[in-house]
Structure 1
Amino acid sequence: MIKLFVAGVVPGLLGAFLLMTVTYVLAVRYDLPRAESFDLGHVGRTFKEAFWALTMPVIILGGIFSGLVTATEGAGLAVMAALVIGLFIYRDLDVSRLRKTMLEGVSQTGVVMLLVSTSAALGLFLTQAQVPQTLAAQITDVTTNPLIVLALLNLLLLVLGMFLHGAAAIILVVPVVMPLVNAVGIDPIHFGIMVTLNLAIGQQTPPVASVLITSCSIARAGIWETSRTNLPFIAVLAFVLLLVTYVPEVSLALTHYLD
């Protein structure tokens, strides 16, 4: 598990840098307004003001990476921390605002859970129809060349990621294709990062796109308009996926220090 987390560091930083580059290029091209110039002193002041709010990512990620809590439990702890910070430290959260926030959260959660339940139903159908097993067997019949197998696995995971929620896709596909992955000599850690990147792209690509729809629900933005704007960012992630797929050391280099 630790190796899988470490393997995601370099691809994550690379993807973040390229996404920031795309953001900068689009901001310059469309002459997007800047609220204010960069000021290191202002960064320090705002950091002090936001210190307590910034503890929530520490609670979530620190709890998960340390193994003390699951992702769901970490999110629950973060909610409790947000209530304490908002009510007793910043004191800008009152009963009326809390009620409004909870109603908005329920509404947004309802949208996401509808997608998740639909995705789970589709996953159940695919499991009963043994679609992943059939596809894995067909891949083996076509070729055992690792490079071609990697390309076909990427295609399979990307398409499933567009229609299934991430957790459902992992449970449905990974156990089925792991014998194929091992048979052609693909490192399981390398394959794990491929799965993560494919599903990350798929979750932003309609028709299901649970991450995209969640973001649009929060921002109250149109899904298809947002999807068009999102194309350069998806292209960047696709480039990172291809780089990770065919240059395994991009993801595996740091894991060698854990041996």
Structure 2
Amino acid sequence: MTEALILLGMFLMIAIGVPIAVSILASALVGVWLLNGHLGFLNAALSLYDGATSFPLIAIPLFILAGALMNTGGISTRLIGFVSALIGFVRGGLAMVNVGVSLFFAEISGSAVADVAATGSVLIPAMKKKGYSPRFAAALTSSSASLAIIIPPSIPMILYGALSDTSIVRLFVAGIVPGLIGAFLLMALSYYFAVRYDLPREEGFSLCRLWQATREASWALILPVIILGGIFGGIVTATEGAGLAVLSALIIGLFIYRELNFGRLYHALLDGVNQTAVVMLLVAASAVLGLYLTETELPQRLAAGITDITTNKFLVLMIINVFLLFVGMVLHGAAAIILTVPIFMPLVHEIGIDPIQFGILITLNIALGQQTPPVASVLITACSIARTDVWSTTKTNLPFIAVLVLVLLLVTYVPAVPLWLVGVFYGP
């Protein structure tokens, strides 16, 4: 009963506007004090420090900074030019360019918010100019950006891997197939709408234009090869790969494209610090909440309660998906992962769900949460760029959300979708 009141108090604080990290930490500290008195604060302080200094989590601020450097260093605009020259000639090609650029950008930044802020600021005005409705432009940009966090590297995967003690590199590999399936479906849906509403083509296909765009974007295209090749090849860890991403983006922006002057570098660093502070404060607070949950054995009791109802793996996954969908609608992605992973991991192990599959499942639920109000952080960012209403854009976004749901169902009920490539790389 006490645990329920603690969690209820936490959600009430969040509902009235108290910062999420403060709500989590305050509730956890009250719980620790009720269990152990003032001595519990000593363990809480150690957990707070350890939670923010885990080596794998260093990748998060580094990938955030890499995304900021890409946005200000001319890398994102050259990626847009390359993808536009490659596939922009088909009907509705600019919509497909939107999806393709999101995949490329996410392969370096790992952040949906960074993706939509960088690519949306260029693509949404261009789509509006070509006759796409602002709602359609915002909806597609938002959904493709959220889908892109399934493609490695992914900040939600890093966070989940650190909290669940699961291989981050294997999570990255597991996200490739679901991400590509989702991208193909988004492009197919975009083509359907393009034909139905007679949306325009871009310039006709030109080998000369493609060659020029490839030359201009060559350094930007090398980045994913360096980062993911190093990680998957076992040359660097995910954290070291994040550092490599920052260094590469810095060198390309400063010395090759020469668009990253010191003024822009300052703003990129400031943006990276602000985003990192929010995430890492949440991570540190979650460690104290994890300490409290461990001492009360709430996750184990929850697992036992669900298994008393059913031990069918597919029904359990359905229950978890419904719960995660609700949590994603009211909490930001990092907070949702932090709150749910410690609660569900004992159940995942008891039922026999593969932790890699579960990590992709959680990441997709986070992607859905980024599209569903009231929080909908990525959708709101896209709407602010397009200058359109969130709720009307949500209606336009429903077919694209359906694509995310379909990919989620595939990951949930066809384990081979996320796990096949992991088996190819690492064996059964």
Q: TM-score with structure 1 length normalisation?
A: 0.76
- SS of match in other structure, 1:204: coil
Match of 1:251 in 2: 418
Query: 1:119 offset after TM fit, Å?
Result: 7.3
User: Matched residues, percent identical?
Assistant: 56
Q: Which amino acid aligns with 1:49?
A: E
- Deviation at residue 60 of structure 1 after TM alignment: 4.2
Contact 2:282 2:334 in 1 (8 A): no
The residue aligned with 2:236 is 68
Deviation, 1:3, is 3.6
Pick closer, same or farther for the CA change 1:69–1:206 going to 2, 3 Å.
farther
Farther off after superposition, 54-63 or 140-149: 54-63
- Tell me whether 1:90 sits opposite 2:257 in the alignment: yes
Matched, 1:239 2:411: no
Paired position in structure 2 for 1:6: 173
Partner Cα distance (2:276, 2:388) in 1: 19
Q: CA deviation at 1:62?
A: 4.1
2:193 is aligned, of 21, 26, 31, to 26
State the Cα distance separating 1:153 from its structure 2 match: 0.8
Q: Is the deviation greater in 31-40 or in 192-201?
A: 31-40
Shift of 1:251: 2.2
When structure 1 is superposed on structure 2, of 199-208 and 134-143 the one drifting more is 134-143
1:99 aligns with 2:263: yes
Deviation for aligned residue 1:136: 4.7
Task: Output the aligned Cα RMSD.
Answer: 3.7
Say if 1:146 and 1:184, in contact at 8 Å, map to a contact too.
yes
Contact persistence 1:163–1:207 (CA under 8 A):
yes
What is the count of residue pairs matched by the alignment?
Answer: 253
Q: Does the 8 Å CA contact 2:303/2:346 hold for their aligned counterparts?
A: no
In the alignment, residue 200 of structure 2 is paired with which amino acid? Answer: P
- Equivalent residue for 1:178? 345
Task: Provide the secondary structure at the position in 2 that maps to 1:186.
Answer: coil
Answer yes or no: is the 8 Å Cα contact 1:120–1:165 preserved in 2: no
Establish whether residue 193 from structure 1 lines up as the match of residue 365 from structure 2: no
**Per-residue deviation, residues 71-130 of structure 1 (Å, max 9, x unmatched):** 6x7556545544433343234x275xx6368548857985x6798599779979987798
Q: 2:203 aligns with which of 9, 21, 36?
A: 36
Do residues 169 (structure 1) and 336 (structure 2) align?
yes
Greater Cα shift, 2-11 or 74-83: 74-83
* Residue of structure 1 equivalent to 2:93: none
Q: Distance in 1 between matches of 2:282 and 2:386?
A: 23
Q: Which whole-Å CA distance do the structure 2 matches of 1:239 and 1:122 have between them?
A: 33
In 2 relative to 1, CA 126–136 (structure 1 residues): closer, same or farther, beyond 3 Å?
farther
- The within-5 A match list for 1:197-208 is 197-208=364-375
Residues 188-197 or 2-11, more deviating: 2-11
Q: Secondary structure at the match of 2:220?
A: coil
1:102/1:223 CA distance change after superposition, 3 Å: farther
Q: Which amino acid aligns with 2:327?
A: L
Report 1:73-152 matches (<5 A).
77-91=244-258, 93=259, 95=261, 99=263, 103=267, 106=270, 133=299, 136=303, 138-152=305-319
Q: Which runs of 5+ in 2 are unaligned?
A: 1-166
Calculate the TM-score normalised by the size of structure 2: 0.49
Structure 1 residue 151, shift from structure 2 partner: 0.5
Question: How far apart are the structure 2 equivalents of 1:84 and 1:252?
Answer: 36
**Which consecutive unaligned segments of at least 5 residues does structure 1 have?**
none
Distance 1:120 1:208 in 2: 19
Are the aligned partners of 2:283 and 2:338 in contact in 1 as well (CA < 8 Å)? no
SS at match of 2:360: helix
Contact 1:119 1:165 survives alignment (8 Å): no
Q: Deviations over 1:190-235 (max 9, x none)?
A: 2222122112211222222233344455x35446144333221110
The Cα shift of 1:59 comes to 4.5
Task: Determine which of 20, 23, 46 is the counterpart of 2:213.
Answer: 46
The AA in structure 2 aligned to 1:4 is: L
Q: Distance in 2 between matches of 1:166 and 1:197?
A: 10
Deviations 1:119-164 (A, max 9, x none): 779979987798x847655433432222211100111122222233
CA distance in 2, matches of 1:158, 1:209: 12
In structure 1, what residue type is equivalent to 2:401? I
Per-residue deviation, 1:177 = 1.4
The 5 A counterparts of 1:147-162 are: 147-162=314-329
Report if the CA contact (8 A) 1:164-1:208 is conserved. yes
Q: Which amino acid aligns with 1:172?
A: L
Q: Tell me, yes or no, if the aligned pair for 2:329 and 2:370 is still in contact at 8 Å.
A: yes
Contact 2:306/2:316 (<8 A) preserved = yes
Is the deviation greater in 236-245 or in 179-188?
Answer: 179-188
